[in-house]
C-alpha cells in the first residue's frame, strides 16, 4: 500500500518539493543561494534517499516540468529587459556585452579543449559559460548600498547578458543538430537558425502583442495574472509543438509586454506571477540536480576546474578589452569583470536544453561531462561571484552612501542617505560631516 502510494506521481513530486524547500531553508542559513540549494537537494534525493525504481518514475514528468520552468524563466528574463537602455547607451552596452561574452566563451573553450580534447564538449561549455546569474550580484549591490558608475554598468550588463546567452547557445545548438545529421552547410545552418530562433521570436512577438489586448479585459489583479500565465503556457506549448525554442518564445513575450508603459497594477501582477512561478522552477532545479550521480564525482572531474578557471579569466579579460574599446577607463575597465562571475539558474536551464539535444544525437557521455562541469562549477561560481562583486565595488569606492528616501516637507525636500557606518543623514549634514541619527531628522519633518 505504501509503495503504491509512493508510486503516485503527484505524491512523489510533492515529497520532492517539500524536501527541496526544507533543504533550501537549512542551506540558506549557511549562505547557500536558493538555486544551488535546490541542485544539492536533488542530488541527495536521487543518490541517497529515493530507491532507483521510484526515482525512475520522475523521468516521465521531467519534460513537462522542464518546458514549463524554461518558459517561465524566459518570460522573466524578457520582462526585466528595458530596451530604452539601448537607446541611451547602446554602443557602450553592446561593446561591453561582446567583450564579456567572447571572453567567457574563448576562455572556457580553449582550456576545456586542451584538457579533454573534445571539440563538441568544449564548444558547448564555452557557449554555456556566457550566462550570468543576476540574483547573487544584485543582492551584493543592495547589501553594500552601492552607487556609482561601476554599479550602473553592472546593472546594465545584467539586464542584457542572459538574452545574449540564450541566443548564443541556441545558435550553437542549431549547428550541433545539423552536425548530427551530417548536413552542415551555410544554407542549412541559416534555415535551422530561422526555425530555432526566428520562428520562436515570431511566435513570441505575436503572443506578446496579443497579451496587452487581453489584459484590458481583466477586472482584477488575479484575472490579470491568469491571463499572463495562460498566454505564457500557451506559448510554451505552441513552441514545443512547433519544435522551436521554448525559452526564446517566452523571452520575446516578456520583452514585448515588459517594454510597454507599466502601471502599479502591472508591477503587482508581475510579482504575483513570479510567486506562482517559483514552485515549478524549484522542481526543475531539483530534477536537474538529480541527474548528477556520485560516480560522476570520483575521480574529481578536472573539467569542472578548467571551466571555472577559464570562465573567470575570460570574463575579467573580456570585459577589460570591451571597456577599453568602448573608451571606458578607471573602475569600469579594471573591475567590471570581477562582478560578473556568478552563474546559476539560466545556465542550468540552457544546460537542460543542451543535454536534450545531445541525448537525441546519442552523445550521452558528452551530456554527462557537461552536467558535471556546470553543476559543480555553479556551486563555486555563486560563492565566487559574491566575493568578486564586493571586491569590485570596494576597489571602485562605491560601497557606502546611496540615496534612500526623499521626503517632501513644509520646509522643502529632504533627501536621506545611509553612509558606510549605517547612519542616516540628509544632504546638508553629510556635506558638513555632522552625523545625526534618524530620530533627529524625523523631528525636523514634524516642524
Q: What is the mean pLDDT of residues 61-70?
A: 81
Question: Which H or E run contains 353?
Answer: helix 345-360
Per-residue pLDDT tens for 199-208?
999 999 999 9
Per-residue pLDDT tens for 159-174?
788 888 888 888 888 8
Sign of CA dihedral 81, 316, 379, 147: negative
Do residues 293 and 320 share a domain?
Answer: yes
Domain count, the chain: 3
Do residues 419 and 282 share a domain?
Answer: no
Q: Which three cell numbers stand for residue 312?
A: 573567470
Q: Which three cell numbers stand for residue 164?
A: 545574449
Q: Is the pLDDT of residue 143 over 80?
A: no
Whether omega for the bond prior to residue 233 falls within 30 degrees of 0, making it cis, is no
Do residues 301 and 326 share a domain?
Answer: yes
Q: Which three cell numbers stand for residue 185?
A: 552547410
Do residues 175 and 76 share a domain?
Answer: yes
Neighbours of 238 (CB within 10 A): 17
Identity of the highest mean pLDDT range in 59-63, 216-220, 320-324: 320-324
| Parent domain of 19 | 2-59
pLDDT more than 70, % of the chain: 82
Domain's final residue, options 19, 42, 59: 59
Do residues 86 and 36 share a domain?
Answer: no
**How far apart, in whole angstroms, are the C-alpha atoms of residue 307 and residue 39?**
18
Place of cell 503587482: 268
Q: What are the φ/ψ torsions at residue 22 (nearest 5 degrees)?
A: -65, -40
Q: What is the mean pLDDT of residues 256-260?
A: 81
Do residues 358 and 436 share a domain?
Answer: no
Q: What is the mean pLDDT of residues 279-293?
A: 80
Do residues 292 and 225 share a domain?
Answer: yes
Per-residue pLDDT tens for 353-394?
888 888 888 888 888 889 888 888 887 887 788 788 888 888
| pTM for this entry | 0.75
| Residue 299 pLDDT class (50, 70, 90 cuts) | low
> Are 80 and 258 spatial neighbours (Cβ–Cβ below 8 Å)?
yes
Average predicted confidence (pLDDT) for the chain: 78
Do residues 236 and 269 share a domain?
Answer: yes
pLDDT of residue 257: 85
Domain's final residue, options 395, 416, 437: 395
Amino acid at each position: 500500500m505504501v509503495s503504491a502510494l509512493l508510486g503516485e506521481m503527484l505524491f512523489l513530486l510533492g515529497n520532492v518539493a517539500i524536501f527541496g524547500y526544507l533543504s533550501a531553508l537549512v542551506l540558506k542559513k549557511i549562505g547557500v543561494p536558493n538555486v544551488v540549494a535546490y541542485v544539492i537537494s536533488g542530488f541527495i534525493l536521487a543518490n541517497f534517499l529515493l530507491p532507483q525504481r521510484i526515482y525512475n518514475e520522475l523521468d516521465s514528468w521531467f519534460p513537462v516540468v522542464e518546458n514549463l520552468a524554461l518558459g517561465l524563466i524566459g518570460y522573466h528574463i524578457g520582462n526585466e529587459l528595458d530596451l530604452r537602455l539601448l537607446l541611451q547607451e547602446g554602443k557602450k552596452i553592446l561593446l561591453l556585452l561582446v567583450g564579456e561574452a567572447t571572453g567567457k566563451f574563448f576562455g572556457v573553450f580553449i582550456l576545456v579543449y586542451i584538457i579533454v580534447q573534445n571539440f563538441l564538449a568544449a564548444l558547448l561549455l564555452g557557449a554555456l559559460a556566457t550566462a550570468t546569474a543576476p540574483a547573487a550580484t544584485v543582492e551584493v549591490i543592495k547589501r553594500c548600498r552601492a552607487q556609482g558608475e561601476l554599479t550602473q554598468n553592472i546593472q546594465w550588463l545584467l539586464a542584457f547578458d542572459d538574452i545574449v546567452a540564450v541566443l548564443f547557445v541556441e545558435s550553437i545548438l542549431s549547428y550541433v543538430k545539423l552536425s548530427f545529421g551530417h548536413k552542415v552547410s551555410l544554407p542549412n545552418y541559416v534555415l535551422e537558425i530561422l526555425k530555432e530562433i526566428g520562428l520562436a521570436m515570431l511566435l513570441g512577438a505575436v503572443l506578446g502583442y496579443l497579451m496587452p489586448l487581453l489584459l484590458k479585459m481583466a477586472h482584477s489583479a488575479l484575472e490579470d495574472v491568469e491571463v499572463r500565465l495562460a498566454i505564457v503556457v500557451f506559448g510554451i506549448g505552441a513552441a514545443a509543438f512547433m519544435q522551436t525554442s521554448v525559452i526564446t518564445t517566452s523571452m520575446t513575450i516578456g520583452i514585448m509586454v515588459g517594454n510597454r508603459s507599466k502601471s502599479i497594477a502591472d508591477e503587482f501582477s508581475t510579482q504575483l506571477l513570479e510567486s506562482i512561478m517559483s514552485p515549478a522552477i524549484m522542481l526543475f532545479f531539483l530534477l536537474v540536480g538529480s541527474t548528477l550521480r556520485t560516480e560522476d564525482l570520483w575521480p574529481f572531474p578536472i573539467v569542472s576546474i578548467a571551466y571555472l578557471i577559464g570562465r573567470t579569466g575570460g570574463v575579467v579579460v573580456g570585459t577589460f578589452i570591451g571597456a577599453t574599446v568602448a573608451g571606458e577607463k578607471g573602475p569600469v575597465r579594471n573591475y567590471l569583470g570581477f562582478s560578473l562571475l556568478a552563474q546559476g539558474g539560466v545556465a542550468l536551464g540552457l544546460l537542460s536544453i543542451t543535454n536534450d539535444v545531445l541525448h537525441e544525437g546519442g552523445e550521452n557521455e558528452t551530456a554527462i561531462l557537461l552536467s558535471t562541469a556546470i553543476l559543480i562549477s555553479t556551486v563555486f561560481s555563486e560563492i565566487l561571484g559574491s566575493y568578486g562583486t564586493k571586491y569590485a565595488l570596494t576597489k571602485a569606492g562605491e560601497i557606502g552612501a546611496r540615496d534612500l528616501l526623499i521626503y517632501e516637507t513644509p520646509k522643502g525636500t529632504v533627501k536621506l542617505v545611509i553612509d558606510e557606518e549605517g547612519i542616516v543623514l540628509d544632504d546638508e549634514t553629510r556635506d558638513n560631516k555632522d552625523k545625526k541619527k534618524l530620530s533627529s531628522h524625523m523631528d525636523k519633518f514634524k516642524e
